[in-house]
Every structure is written in structure tokens, then in C-alpha cells.
């Protein structure tokens, strides 16, 4: 039996999933008694220390409400208003943040780079930087990389290092949008430090929301100088939570026993299962490597319509126009995957 459309777990976004048990338990525990406000509480201290343990370094940690704020405010810290921010043409900071990076940086211009599978081609950085060097062009100030990318692919360690080497050569700061950082870590099987500060990343927006936290992302500065007075930037940007413990406690919940990695591993495994199940359905073509928790599939328009009619929700506006994004989460079950695959098979025939 297919679950009724209303109580079905969907494939539109990992944001559709609820709060994971570990984060929920920590929230409940943090709800005991009173705590100091504005981030001077024991939960925030514990969460920050756990993040330092995860990255095996003494980084500066801040918690904000969402990914747009994390990206925009951290990019603003890396740039002057007359700078430009270089990112892939499909980057969230370009296509899904309503101009917030430009707004919060007081005018830094986002310049677009190209590259296959959602990944920046190092040569496109060189092209953008060398295009003009005169005073009339916004001076390139930062490179923003998304790991895992908007298309669910990941930069290998070598790819990352060659990109940050180019960035260093051109004196660009390196920002990483890690809304799905956990999915990238488990996909690559690396230590978090290897794909961040050891590879030349200055600041990471470490995503929690898509991996089981209710709300809140961590902004992690590996370059402490760049994180100076970031708390004031957060406050001015409306991102300093007074009851900060409710942003930070869930991080303690997911980090203290490795749940963040388990959940990401599970989400990636569900996407892999889905990719394998639908790969051979007539009319379906998997568009990119399934490396994390999403499957991008080219589907005939009539199949998209029929699947929507059956109550399935998924996005068709993230990749190319003929691609559906099927996104798994920590809460996706094998049964969910099998139900979706079975309906696709029926409609694809």
C-alpha cells in the first residue's frame, strides 16, 4: 500500500524532515530551568567545544538561524563592499538567497564561475580574476565553494586543494557553504579538518538544519582574525538569538555521539538506493553522480506530471529544466524509496 499523500515522507527537500531524536532530546534537556542568554550559556559553550573537537582545531564558532544568514554574514566578513565574491553559477548564494550576500556585504558583487556537475572549474577563477584588473571592476575578494554542491556532487580533496591553491595565488579568501557538509564528509570518508582548514578554507557554514536539527547553522571561522567582531555582525543582522541555548543544544545532541555522521550516512545510502532502483526505468536518466543525498533524474514531462498527480513532491527548478531533484534525508526509509521507485516505474512504462 502506498502511504496517503498527506502522511507520506517526500523527496522535495531534506528540509521536509522533522527533528532527529538526538537533537530533540537535547532541546528538551536544555529546556530545564533558566540559562544565561545571548550565547553566554553552557550549551553554547559545549556545542562550540564539540565543533572544535570535530575540526581538531581552535576555531571561532557562532550560531545563526539559517543558511542564508550564515553565508551572507560570513561572506560580508571576508569582503569589502567594493570586492566581488566568486561562486559557481548554480551556487545557493547566487540563485537562492535573494541577493542577501550583496545586501549584507554592503554591495560586494557576486561574479559567476562555471564548471561541470555543479563544481567550480579552477580555470574559471583565473578567467574571472584576470578579466579586468582596473579600478572600475569589483576587486575579487572571496571564493565561495559549496560542499556538497547544489547538484549533490562533492569536491574531492585534490579538487579542493587545487581550487584553494588558485584562490591563494589571487589573494582570495575561501568561504565554504556547507549546508550539506556532513553528507560530503561521509561520502568522501575524510576527517572534517582535511576538507576545511587543512585545505585552505577560511570559514565554513556548517549546516545542521538539513541533517536533523530544527533550526540553526554554525559559522566556523578557522581564521580567527576574519571572525573578529562577528558577534556584532550577527546582532546587527538580526541573527543573535536571545535564547541561544535552543540553537546550540541540538548541536550537542547530534555531535556528542556522532549522530550527525550516522544521519548523513543514512541519507546518502537512501539516495544511492533510489539511484540504483530508478536507473533502468525507461525514460529516466540519472544526470549526475549520486555522491550524497540527492538524485537528479531527467524525467519526461508527462512522468513528472503523473508523479505529482500521485502526490509525490519533488523540485524541478534546481538543476536543468528537465531534471527532477529527488532528495533524501536522515528520516527517509527504504520503504519510502521503494514506494517512489515503484510509482516511477509504473509511470515510466
Ligand X SMILES: Cc1ncc(COP(=O)(O)O)c(C=O)c1O
Return d(Cα 265, Cα 38) in angstroms, integer.
33
Q: How far is the CB of 98 from ligand X (least distance, A)?
A: 9
Q: Quick check: 101 binds ligand X (CB under 6 A)?
A: no
Does 119 bind ligand X (CB under 6 A)? Our answer is no
Which residues on adjacent β-strands are paired with residue 84? 109, 140
Please pick, from the candidates 27, 90, 151, 179, the single residue that binds ligand X as defined by CB under 6 A: 179
DSSP, residue by residue, 188-213? HT--TTTTTGGGT-SEEEE--GGGT-
67 binds ligand X (CB under 6 A): yes
* Cβ-based nearer residue to ligand X, 145 or 303: 145
Question: Of residues 22, 60, 177, 336, which one binds ligand X by CB under 6 A?
Answer: 177
Contacts of 110 by beta carbon, 8 Å cutoff, 6+ apart: 84, 85, 87, 93, 94, 101, 102
Is 295 a binder of ligand X (CB under 6 A)?
Answer: no
Task: Check residue 9 for interaction with ligand X (CB under 6 A).
Answer: no
Please report where in the chains the cell 559553550 appears, as a residue.
45
Alpha carbons 203 and 112: distance in angstroms, whole number: 20
Determine if 68 is a binding residue for ligand X (CB under 6 A).
yes
Single residue of 66, 114, 156, 316 touching ligand X by CB under 6 A: 66
Q: How far apart are CA 328 and CA 278, in angstroms?
A: 14
Q: How far is the CB of 302 from ligand X (least distance, A)?
A: 28
Q: Among candidates 143, 138, 144, which has minimal Cα distance to 81?
A: 138
Nearer to ligand X, 67 or 212 (CB): 67
Residue 138 engages ligand X in binding (rule: CB under 6 A) = no
Full strand arrangement of the beta sheet holding 285-286: 285-286, 294-298, 323-327
Cα 263 to the chain's mean position, in Å? Answer: 15
Number of residues that bind ligand X (CB under 6 A): 9
- Examine residue 146 and tell whether it contacts ligand X (CB under 6 A): yes
- Indicate the residue whose CB is closest to ligand X: 67
Element (H, E) at 128: helix 122-131
Closest to ligand X by CB, 208 vs 348, is: 208
Interaction of residue 92 with ligand X, rule CB under 6 A: yes
For the bound state, the minimum distance from the C-beta of residue 125 to ligand X, rounded and expressed in Å, comes to 19
Least CB distance from residue 103 to ligand X, whole Å? 13
Sequence-distant (≥ 6) Cβ neighbours of residue 43 within 8 angstroms: 26, 30, 35, 244, 245, 248, 249, 252
User: Sign of torsion, CA 196 227 77 230?
Assistant: positive
Mark the segment that binds ligand X (CB under 6 A) among 43-51, 60-68, 290-298, 335-343.
Answer: 60-68
The nearest distance, CB 49 to ligand X, in angstroms, is 24
Burial of 237 (C-beta count, 10 Å sphere; 0-12/13-18/19+): middle
Cell of 59: 576555531
Span of 40-48, 62-70, 258-266, 276-284 interacting with ligand X by CB under 6 A: 62-70
Site map (CB under 6 A) of ligand X, residues 184-223, x = contact: -------------------------x--------------
CA distance linking residue 314 with residue 324, whole number of Å: 7
Contact of 250 with 213, CB cutoff 8 Å? yes
* Interface positions, 300-329, toward ligand X (CB under 6 A): none
With respect to ligand X, which residue has the nearer C-beta, 151 or 284?
151
Residue 10 vs 281, nearer CB to ligand X = 10
Binding residues vs ligand X (CB under 6 A) = 66-68, 92, 146, 150, 177, 179, 209
Amino acid at each position: 500500500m502506498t502511504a496517503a499523500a498527506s502522511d507520506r515522507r517526500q523527496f522535495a527537500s531534506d528540509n521536509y524532515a522533522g527533528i532527529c531524536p538526538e537533537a530533540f532530546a537535547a532541546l528538551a534537556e536544555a529546556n530545564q530551568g533558566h540559562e544565561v542568554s545571548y550565547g553566554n550559556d553552557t550549551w553554547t559553550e559545549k556545542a562550540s567545544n564539540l565543533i572544535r573537537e570535530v575540526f581538531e582545531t581552535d576555531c571561532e564558532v557562532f550560531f545563526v538561524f539559517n543558511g542564508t544568514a550564515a553565508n551572507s554574514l560570513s561572506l560580508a566578513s571576508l569582503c569589502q563592499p567594493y570586492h566581488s565574491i566568486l561562486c559557481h553559477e548554480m551556487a545557493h548564494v547566487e540563485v537562492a538567497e535573494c541577493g542577501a550576500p550583496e545586501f549584507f556585504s554592503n554591495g560586494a558583487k557576486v561574479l559567476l564561475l562555471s564548471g561541470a556537475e555543479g563544481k567550480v572549474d579552477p580555470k574559471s577563477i583565473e578567467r574571472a580574476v584576470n578579466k579586468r584588473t582596473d579600478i572600475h571592476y569589483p576587486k575579487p575578494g572571496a571564493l565561495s565553494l559549496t560542499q556538497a554542491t547544489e547538484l549533490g556532487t562533492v569536491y574531492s580533496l585534490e579538487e579542493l586543494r587545487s581550487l584553494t591553491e588558485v584562490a591563494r595565488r589571487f589573494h582570495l579568501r575561501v568561504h565554504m557553504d556547507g549546508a550539506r557538509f556532513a553528507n560530503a564528509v561521509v561520502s568522501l570518508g575524510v576527517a572534517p579538518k582535511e576538507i576545511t582548514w587543512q585545505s585552505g578554507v577560511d570559514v565554513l557554514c556548517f549546516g545542521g538544519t538539513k541533517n536533523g536539527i530544527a533550526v540553526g547553522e554554525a559559522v566556523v571561522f578557522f581564521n580567527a582574525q576574519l571572525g573578529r567582531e562577528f558577534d556584532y555582525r550577527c546582532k546587527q543582522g538580526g541573527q543573535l538569538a536571545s535564547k541561544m541555548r535552543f540553537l546550540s543544544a541540538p548541536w550537542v545532541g547530534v555531535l556528542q555521539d556522532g549522530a550527525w555522521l550516522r544521519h548523513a550516512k543514512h541519507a546518502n545510502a537512501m539516495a544511492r538506493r533510489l539511484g540504483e532502483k530508478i536507473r533502468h526505468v525507461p525514460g529516466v536518466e540519472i544526470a549526475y553522480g549520486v555522491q550524497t543525498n540527492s538524485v537528479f533524474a531527467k524525467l519526461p514531462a508527462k512522468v513528472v506530471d503523473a508523479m505529482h498527480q500521485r502526490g509525490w513532491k519533488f523540485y524541478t527548478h534546481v538543476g536543468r529544466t528537465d531534471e527532477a531533484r529527488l532528495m533524501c534525508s536522515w528520516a527517509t526509509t527504504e520503504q519510502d524509496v521503494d514506494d517512489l521507485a515503484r510509482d516511477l516505474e509504473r509511470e515510466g512504462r
